[in-house]
């Protein structure tokens, strides 16, 4: 029985800012206050830190929303290289925009209130307040078709998983800031469960229109289910950081369920809400009923714009870990990847 | 130059409800008021009506969010049978829940505030305030594995598109209220661009674990890109109704773009907002910059819960069309489907 | 102990729309489905119906958001005249816009994407997609100053409550569709707890600049606390319908608390969410901790745009009540108003 | 005419976090990325900095939402004492919670998912995840009634404005971390335009029940309109920072309009959205049509939880200003307050 005094243990400590402070010093204050978004954000930092200090935890990053064109490309590539993320599950589009910069294209700072018909006539695409010139997409398409042709030739008669596809791209994109490249070089699995739903699909159209059916690239819609489930099964513990929701979130959660395991750590950053019943806004409590996340898991949902929230979490945790922190992911240490076609 | 008086043309007429009224009578009042959500909703009804009265328009329904388990299953099946929707693009999960009822399973009215750990121990899954017993999923898995085995045997050496996969399911689910069945019977294309991201993926895991790799079901991740683009290309005009956003919305929009056409009509029902840059909340204005939707298209976004909004739109439009309205979709009339493997 | 079968009692019945249906027929279907927003909306209709059939319940309508300029003016005036609402608590602004039409002004259907600087130069004010010409505000100001002068003269040495102020306005606005007029004529209390925060405040500025301080209108900031608490105290049961939240919602809830009673019925229509801690998005569960709403109360929060949701609730309930339904509010029947200065 | 190249000027620079960084270093990166929430947040910091470096600008802080109980009490008190905020407009409730701590009460870290009926039985009030014991409210009521008695006696025959009321409270609350105290000591005007809508109203009920009507405290509902408008009128430039919206935002905006001035700087932090037409979610573009904010004003709306966003802005700007920054607000320098009853 919870007694009255149990509810009145720890007073809110009010935030004080007297001069220059580091990001983690601010987050510590948020933790002392402990309320509303500030409390949630500080808990999210604690959980990510704990995931990283847990040697036997495989850390998934689920990536939806146009955060790569908006400025998170290097941040994510660095997290992969620094072994602060072990597996990535992404929308196709985020990797399209990663590849677009890898082939020399750019995203431009724009504005959300603009004459979209003028942009259309100028062949400039808008993603909220980011602009992308069509010629950069055309350059990307051109490169992708060549890559697809090569991939198809090298893998004739073989169906790739979306992870194979992503690594094959990374292999051919020689750009150090590229997420795909970083994932390939570090053999970090990167799954694209809805890969066709992006410019990768349009490039396939171009590629397929010039080939007879047997010679086209084959990516199997289901194959990555086996791979991601295997990773969950073999990892002693699993955790996820979700940016946005959608297919990437669902894919990670389903893998945790399919492996009959349940996640031990979960941080979700979203603006969606639960009442309309969509997956992206569903609560972490709800995931417990399915066994996707453990009842006792360290878990928190932060309500906010990931472009604001996620870099804060990263900055806070990097500060906590310090310069000498080194981490070898369980899946690399135990060579889990051999089981799913890594090297 | 817009003159001052141009802004002050039509006064808001205030809503009056004096007794029993039909849904469309209410929507007419919303149109007379013309403001906020009421104005948008009435415009959405107008646009859907116009799509349906346009003989040369192919009407896409993009379906995200858990609306099928929540009560829209028959509504959508009926829309397909009545030829009020010509092509469906859905999350895998919505069709999983359709299939679950087709094999005798049920969704139950539950509550959103409940002990999820108790549900977990009871093997009951929660989708906001809908409960699903695990045994119904197990029954579904069992059926799906048998269906996959049969599909794989029948299609050996052949890769299916997600639409082929959906029709193959519909062929084997003998249930008149099923969306998959209705789509199969009426040869309504139904695309599942992220098919693996659902219980269909888990059933694949079960299926694949008992087969050697050559004998497993092959669904091609990219193949449906060709099919949906072809439909757009051959349709004189295209329109979409989007429930929720996500991959289904993006898939339809990308097809409109890939076919170098742009949509003529668009209705989006969502709770997402544009500022965080995700596709689901992006404005229809933004789609114009890409050429996904035409600058001159009839288009509106309704901000609300689709379980409330969409049935109202359907009820209003059905009332307007009257009992004798008959529609033969362009893609059926012109037998577009032959080009993409229909009959 | 809740058993497993208790969670699996009632299957979701899927919505069917076969032809023309009334608003309440649609709502009945929403009740059969029972999920997400559809379930909540049908419960909201049930609760409002129950409030109205409870002879001893005083029904409060809390009114925030610009619903009066957007088209709800007549609807609310009619609810007051038909005795389907017993007490109104409103923002000042909604009553300003009611008065603006009462003096011959208009609101115009506009658009949300428009050159606001052009509107500024044209002296047109925008409320999302509603336009109001400045001259209508000037006409209103002129009338209000005259009314204030008269009110001040008649009430010299006396401080009015916000309810007195509202009735004094209603007395002088001879317009049958006016909410203020309807409230005055039916002696329906109408509280404006933040009355100065609106054009009523600006009119006061004009009025006060031409008077010496003793001769200006006196409205007491606190006096209505006594009146609204008294109504709650004397009513056997109390219920509220909240449009939007803010000060009106808080005022009703605080009165329920101050009267040491707690509400028996509560319907809230809002788009706000709880996590950021604001009152408008706070859950009905939270109100229980305070004693503002009873633990056993019939209560529901509908997430949506009030311009869509509220007229549906009204239409559904009016249909259920039928033409011959008559209601005499408890506060009128027992002449509660005498205690707070009504007649 | 805008040329194509004008849209493609500045590429998005991707965020890099290599080790410990300060809050403003992170914000600089957000500015380099420039997109979505990150871009808006960095602009908000720029604007607040500019307001503070503009010697002739009066800085308004509009305060809605329960940010004081959640942990912003000291932060705001310090901003007042450091002269980084010149005028405060607040909900009554935020000042109630400030006073509650001033009389020795506390807010406690709680949780949002809890048995509210148990809390009710334990006499603990919940504000999302903050708990307040009833006895602290009772202590506050007791003190407030004594203060009201004294205020009424000292000001017999005089009506106070809400600012007078707030200063009178501050005078009697001897607590250095109190916002009300800080405002009183620094003679920073603090307006409570809906003062009755809070525990201040309940305390009035207790106070009034023991007095005859002539002896009760008199707070005039409209008087502060004159004061706040005067401040706007006499300030060469005006700027606002809005937390949340509601009556405080509207009050500041209306004062800018009534003074025929329009704001020069505006930062709004909110989670509300524009489409439902409420003031709190209305865009800054919309305010331009009214003349509340100038077309050329530096203005931005940040979509997020103020408990996360506002301290970041403050930390970033304090870092930029450095230790030696000193500011004497225009309204203090020019002794504007004499005109409105300050000293």
Tens digit of pLDDT for each residue in B47-59? 999 999 999 999 9
Q: Which chains touch A (3 or more CB pairs under 8 A)?
A: B, C, D
A292 is catalytic: yes
- D197 → closest Cβ in C130, C229, C254: C254
Query: Does C222 sit within 8 Å of D220, measured CB to CB?
Result: no
Q: Say whether pLDDT at B232 is over 60.
A: yes
Q: Annotated catalytic sites of D, by residue?
A: 292
**HSE value, Cβ hemisphere, 13 Å, CA-based, for C43:** 21
Residues of D in contact with C64 (CB under 8 A): 278
Taking CA–CA distances from A275, the nearest residue in chain C reads: C36
Into which CATH architecture does domain B4-340 fall? Answer: 3-Layer(aba) Sandwich (3.40)
- C251 → closest Cβ in D197, D217, D222: D197
| pLDDT score, position D214 | 80
In CATH terms, the fold of domain C4-106+157-198+210-340 is Deoxyhypusine Synthase (3.40.910)
Q: Which chains touch D (3 or more CB pairs under 8 A)?
A: A, B, C
In chain C, the percentage of residues whose pLDDT exceeds 70 is 99
d(CA B138, CA C174): 68
Furthest C-alpha separation in chain A = 74
pTM exceeding the 0.95 threshold for the entire prediction: yes
Residue-averaged pLDDT of chain A: 96
Chain A: closest CA distance from residue C38 (Å): 9
| pLDDT score, position D342 | 60
| pLDDT score, position C47 | 98
Query: Does B71 sit within 8 Å of C35, measured CB to CB?
Result: yes
Chain segment B303-318, per-residue pLDDT in tens: 999 999 999 999 999 9
Chain segment D131-141, per-residue pLDDT in tens: 999 999 999 99
- The domain spans of chain A are 56-304
Q: Say whether pLDDT at B342 is over 70.
A: no
Residues of C in contact with A273 (CB under 8 A): 273, 303
d(CA D212, CA D201): 17
Compute the average pLDDT of residues B206-215: 87
Q: Say whether pLDDT at B338 is over 90.
A: no
Q: Pick the closest to residue A59 from A321, A252, A239 (CA basis).
A: A239
Compute the average pLDDT of residues A266-285: 96
Compute the average pLDDT of residues D257-273: 97
**Token pair 């109408």 in the structure block, residue:** C190
| pLDDT score, position A73 | 98
- The angle formed by the CA atoms of residues A308, B91 and A228, to the nearest 5 degrees, is 70
d(CA C78, CA C73): 9
Q: Pick the closest to residue A267 from A240, A294, A233 (CA basis).
A: A240
In chain D, the percentage of residues whose pLDDT exceeds 90 is 94
User: Which residues have a Cβ under 8 Å from the Cβ of D6 and sit 6 or more positions away?
Assistant: none
**Token pair 């935020």 in the structure block, residue:** D94
CATH number for the domain whose boundaries are D11-338: 3.40.910.10
DSSP state of D70: I
| pLDDT score, position C257 | 97
Query: Does A275 sit within 8 Å of C36, measured CB to CB?
Result: yes
- C193 → closest Cβ in D197, D258, D281: D197
Chain segment B122-153, per-residue pLDDT in tens: 999 999 999 999 999 999 999 999 999 999 99
Q: How far is CA B137 from CA A252, B120, B172, in A?
A: 19, 14, 17
Chain D: closest CA distance from residue B288 (Å): 16
Compute the average pLDDT of residues A61-81: 97
Q: Say whether pLDDT at C116 is over 90.
A: yes
Chain D: closest CA distance from residue A166 (Å): 21
Total Cβ atoms within 10 A of residue A333: 11
d(CA A183, CA A171): 9
Residue-averaged pLDDT of chain D: 96
d(CA D296, CA D249): 20
User: Which residues have a Cβ under 8 Å from the Cβ of C288 and sit 6 or more positions away?
Assistant: C294, C295, C297, D116, D117, D119, D120
Chain A: closest CA distance from residue D139 (Å): 17
| pLDDT score, position C4 | 97
pLDDT band at C73 (very low <50, low <70, confident <90, very high): very high
Q: How far is CA A188 from CA B197, B199, D336, in A?
A: 21, 26, 64
| pLDDT score, position C342 | 60
Q: Say whether pLDDT at C343 is over 60.
A: no
User: Which residues have a Cβ under 8 Å from the Cβ of C100 and sit 6 or more positions away?
Assistant: C107, C132, C136, C137, C139, C140, C199
| pLDDT score, position A343 | 52
The first and second tokens of residue D301, run together, are: 């709306």
Q: Say whether pLDDT at A340 is over 80.
A: no
Mean pLDDT check: name the lowest of A338-342, B83-87, B210-214.
A338-342
Chain segment C1-52, per-residue pLDDT in tens: 799 999 999 999 999 999 999 999 999 999 999 999 999 999 999 999 999 9
pLDDT band at B213 (very low <50, low <70, confident <90, very high): confident
Taking CA–CA distances from A79, the nearest residue in chain D reads: D17
- D70 → closest Cβ in C247, C277, C306: C277
In chain A, the percentage of residues whose pLDDT exceeds 90 is 94
| pLDDT score, position A342 | 60
Output A210 or B190, whichever has higher pLDDT.
B190
CATH number for the domain whose boundaries are A56-304: 3.40.910.10
């Amino acid at each position: 029985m919870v007694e009255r005094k149990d509810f009145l243990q720890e007073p809110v400590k009010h935030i004080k800012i007297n001069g220059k402070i580091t990001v983690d010093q601010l987050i510590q204050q948020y933790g002392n206050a402990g309320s509303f978004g500030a409390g949630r954000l500080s808990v999210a930092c604690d959980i990510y830190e704990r995931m990283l200090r847990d040697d036997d935890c495989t850390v998934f990053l689920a990536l939806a929303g146009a955060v790569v064109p908006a400025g998170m490309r290097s941040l994510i590539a660095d997290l992969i290289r620094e072994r602060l993320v072990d597996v990535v599950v992404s929308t196709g589009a985020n990797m399209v925009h990663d590849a677009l910069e890898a082939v020399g294209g750019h995203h431009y700072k724009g504005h959300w209130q603009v004459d979209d018909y003028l942009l259309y006539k100028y062949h400039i695409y808008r993603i909220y307040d980011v602009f992308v010139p069509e010629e950069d997409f055309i350059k990307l398409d051109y490169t992708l078709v060549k890559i697809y042709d090569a991939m198809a030739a090298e893998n004739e008669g073989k169906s790739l998983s979306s992870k194979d596809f992503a690594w094959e791209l990374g292999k051919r994109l020689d750009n150090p800031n590229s997420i795909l490249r970083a994932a390939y070089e570090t053999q970090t699995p990167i799954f694209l469960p809805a890969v066709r739903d992006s410019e990768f699909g349009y490039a396939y159209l171009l590629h397929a229109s010039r080939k007879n059916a047997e010679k086209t690239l084959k990516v199997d819609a289901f194959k990555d289910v086996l791979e991601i489930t295997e990773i969950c099964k073999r990892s002693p513990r699993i955790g996820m950081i979700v940016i946005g929701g959608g297919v990437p979130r669902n894919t990670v959660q389903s893998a945790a369920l399919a492996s009959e395991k349940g996640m031990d750590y979960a941080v979700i950053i979203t603006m969606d809400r639960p009442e309309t019943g969509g997956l992206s806004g569903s609560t972490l409590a709800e995931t417990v009923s399915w066994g996707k996340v453990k009842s006792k898991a360290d878990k928190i949902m932060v309500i906010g714009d990931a472009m604001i929230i996620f870099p804060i979490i990263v900055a806070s945790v990097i500060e906590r870990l310090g310069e000498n922190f080194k981490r070898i992911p369980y899946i690399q240490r135990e060579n889990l990847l051999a089981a799913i076609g890594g090297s």
